[in-house]
C-alpha cells in the first residue's frame, strides 16, 4: 500500500519535471529570434503581414505571429521552390527570392516566438 501511495505521488511530480524540461528545451535561441526579427523587417515581410505579424494589410493575407516554426518554414520553402503556387503565393514568390534557407528558418523561428 505504501509503495502504491508513493508511486501515486512521485509519478506526477516526475511528469511535471519532464514537462518543464521540454518547455525549456523548446525555447528558441534568442540570437535566432533577433536575426529573424531583423530579417522580417529588412526583407519587407512586415509590409504585407504587419509590423507585429498580426495585422496584415489584406484580410486574405495570413496572420503569422505565433505560427508553428516548422510549418511556416515549410510554407516559405515551398513558395520559394514553386511547389506551392496557390492562393497568394504568387505575391510571395518575389520576396522569397530575397532570402536563403537559413534566413527562412530564422524568420520562422521569430514568428513562432511572437504571441
Closest by CA position to 107, among listed 39, 10, 31, 5: 39
Is the confidence at residue 52, as pLDDT, over 60? yes
**Which stretch of DSSP H or E encloses residue 92?**
helix 89-96
Q: Say how far apart CA 67 and CA 56 lie, in whole Å.
A: 14
What confidence tens digit (pLDDT) does each residue in 91-115 have? 899 889 999 999 999 999 999 999 8
Q: Say how far apart CA 107 and CA 115 lie, in whole Å.
A: 15
Q: Which residue segments constitute the domains of the chain, with CATH numbers given?
A: 28-113 (1.10.760.10)
Q: Say how far apart CA 79 and CA 21 lie, in whole Å.
A: 35
The residue written with cell numbers 504571441 in the block is: 115
Inter-CA distances, 66 with 28, 31, 59, 71, Å: 12, 18, 18, 11
pTM of the predicted model as reported, rounded to 2 decimal places: 0.77
What confidence tens digit (pLDDT) does each residue in 3-16 have? 655 566 656 666 66
Closest by CA position to 52, among listed 109, 111, 3: 111
Amino acid at each position: 500500500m505504501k509503495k502504491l501511495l508513493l508511486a501515486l505521488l512521485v509519478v506526477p511530480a516526475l511528469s511535471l519535471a519532464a514537462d518543464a524540461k521540454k518547455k525549456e528545451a523548446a525555447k528558441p535561441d534568442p540570437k535566432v529570434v533577433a536575426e529573424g526579427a531583423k530579417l522580417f523587417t529588412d526583407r519587407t515581410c512586415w509590409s504585407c503581414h504587419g509590423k507585429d505579424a498580426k495585422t496584415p494589410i489584406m484580410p486574405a493575407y495570413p496572420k503569422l505571429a505565433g505560427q508553428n516554426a516548422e510549418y511556416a518554414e515549410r510554407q516559405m520553402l515551398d513558395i520559394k521552390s514553386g511547389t506551392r503556387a496557390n492562393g497568394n503565393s504568387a505575391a510571395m514568390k518575389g520576396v522569397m527570392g530575397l532570402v536563403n534557407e537559413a534566413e527562412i528558418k530564422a524568420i520562422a523561428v521569430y514568428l513562432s516566438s511572437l504571441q
